[in-house]
Structure 1
């Protein structure tokens, strides 16, 4: 039994509807990374960046290795609040060959493309051999596959959104702590308050180290503030340890501030402020634990494996179902387009499942050096060099630097800069 291309339409129409049910995206700001950009018009404050994802093999560093810029390609700016719009469809289509998703699904895509070419050639070369199979199987399973892929993508996006919320909580808590320390505690305990702000400014860097699973070298600023481990690899084996030690030191500094102040025992308002600061330090530690939960708890691997097998079987038999339904050369075109869409959705779920990304930093922020495995960067740090902030993950390196600088700025307003 042969049916038209209804099975393809059922899958490709169902997926956007299911994915649209995910939580709404809210504008998130992050510091811009080092890219080559066009000068925006003076009358356009919300001008889009002109950077693109670098070609395969391009590396990113602070100055010399900045990715090539293409005049026709525009990118939204997270800092200004500019986002993609429907008017970007053409330039987005032109940029398909540079797509990071396409590079990731390349082998699977080529495998199915070769099958479709072989089936199309065989149908022309040997017309007496019946290669077609009923389309009814693809029709029946198309909706199930669409639901499976959309659920996989929605689950991954929920992790992305949750992770961004934890970093927002960390940023808000650091701001509140720095402000309260300068406004209230520093007048009674200046030495302890000054030291507290130094440790607080280093905390986002320790959280970044945790979120990257230890794949980024621990900042020297953090290493100077915490006890050194018995062996150098301990911070890699337990990436949460630096943040835990900093949290402990922050609590110790609050106790020292209470001991330093001559009025903390009888001044109830001052004691209340110290108690509130202690609760906010607890909030920082809770954010760290929540980020660790996301890092160490994947979407069940059985789900991913079954989805991959289901999709490979469905796509691998699609050329045979199209024999006789469309012309031979159209078999290749239909399979190529469908493979790109379906495999791309699957890979998107895999990429954003780990929402923390080691984005490259330039100039004075190059302390985020990636660990090497067999002479190569780890996969997570390599992703950060081949993509841009919020392409597939949260730029935790940039966020950590931004929070650190804000704490230092708040500290410098009421006294010398740390």
Structure 2
């Protein structure tokens, strides 16, 4: 995730980060510029269309459709940001519930071996969830000295949750945890699986294909027809105008595509690996 000062306007204007949409769109912007030049040349130099030509009236269509495309892009970006923010809230809940479970177990358990187990198994769930959401199957375990028999072909967070619940049940059976104490810590244990399911829902339910494809086609045809009408008013200056318009519209779509899956490795995705490391640090301090 990109760290920045939101009040530093100069940096925003003149700095091009590696994740900036400008870098991604440069080839398309050059292509659109050449296309706009070709249209302007044909209308001005080759066809020599007059001001009375009906082609000039194409701008009426752009005026009507401009409002429509703006509404579509606003809805697109808002929906993508809602998914990003919902993912952040779930990982924030995972941090809080991991701390709460560690605090409760710290007060309940007196045996050092039991405390050492939970000191490692609780952060392991966050680590496994992070790897599960990023499909990082080859990543190493968070703890080298904790022998977790994880089957990489099965649901890894569920396996860690099963070990956690099994250990809690063993402690209850042996009398180290009473029934009332079991009820007290049940919410945090159950919340782990709830958070995992919510994150999977976000990751596995993208924006409907038809909606995403329609926006891309809409932007494409809007830009392709833009030079025809505005050449009469702008001449060859239509080239930078069309390129800039394409940059704005396409950038909004690219930003939405990037943040709608907040659990990847893009620059603007959630720092789930950092959050998992913070959970490990906090739980170790408590237990």
Q: What is the TM-score with the length of structure 2 in the denominator?
A: 0.89
Q: Provide the aligned C-alpha RMSD in A.
A: 2.3
Aligned to 2:20: 100
Aligned counterpart in structure 2 of residue 280 of structure 1, from 178, 181, 188: 188
Shift of residue 127 of structure 1?
Answer: 5.5
Q: CA deviation at 1:194?
A: 2.7
Corresponding position of 1:186: 109
CA shift digits 1:309-361 (9 cap, x unpaired) = 00100011111121111132x10111121111111011111111111133xxx
Equivalent pairs counted in the alignment come to 282
Assess if the C-alpha contact under 8 Å between 2:123 and 2:276 holds in 1.
Answer: no
Q: Give the Cα separation in 2 of the matches to 1:406 and 1:152.
A: 37
Kindly state the Cα deviation for residue 90 of structure 1 after the two structures are TM-superposed.
3.1
Q: CA-to-partner distance for each residue in 1:279-309, whole Å, 9 max, x for gaps?
A: 2110011101111111111011111000000
Assess, with a 3 A threshold, how the Cα gap between structure 1 residues 206 and 221 changes in structure 2: closer, same or farther: same
Which residue among 54, 63, 69 is the counterpart of 1:139? 63
1:51-79 deviation digits (Å, cap 9, x = unpaired): xx8xxxxxxxxxxxxxxxxxxxxx62xxx
Q: 1:120 aligns with which of 40, 54, 77?
A: 40
Of 100-109 and 169-178, more deviation after overlay is shown by: 100-109
Shift of 1:143: 0.6
Matching residue of 1:267: none
1:398 to 260, 270, 274: 274
SS of alignment partner, residue 323 of structure 1: helix
Higher helix share: 2
In structure 1, list runs of 5 or more residues that go unmatched.
Answer: 1-29, 31-52, 54-74, 77-82, 265-269, 359-382, 412-418
1:289 aligns with 2:197: yes
Q: Conserved in 2, the CA contact under 8 Å of 1:192 and 1:254? A: no
Query: 1:29-108 residue pairs with structure 2 within 5 A?
Result: 76=4, 83-85=5-7, 88-96=8-16, 100-108=20-28
How do 1:148-187 residues align onto structure 2 when only pairs under 5 Å count? 148-183=72-107, 185-187=108-110
Gaps spanning 5+ residues in structure 2: where? none
Alpha-carbon offset, residue 132 of structure 1: 4.2
Is contact 1:192-1:256 (8 Å) kept? no
1:276 positional shift: 1.9
Whole-angstrom CA distance in 1 between matches of 2:17 and 2:235: 26
User: Residue 251 of structure 2 corresponds to which residue in structure 1?
Assistant: 344
Aligned residue for 1:311? 219
In the alignment, is residue 247 of structure 1 matched against residue 171 of structure 2? no
Q: Do the aligned partners of 1:210 and 1:292 also contact (CA within 8 Å) in 2? A: no
Asked if 1:260 is matched to 2:147, the reply is no
Distance (whole Å) between structure 1 residues aligned to residue 10 and residue 123 of structure 2:
44
TM-score normalised per structure 1: 0.63
1:142: how far off?
0.7
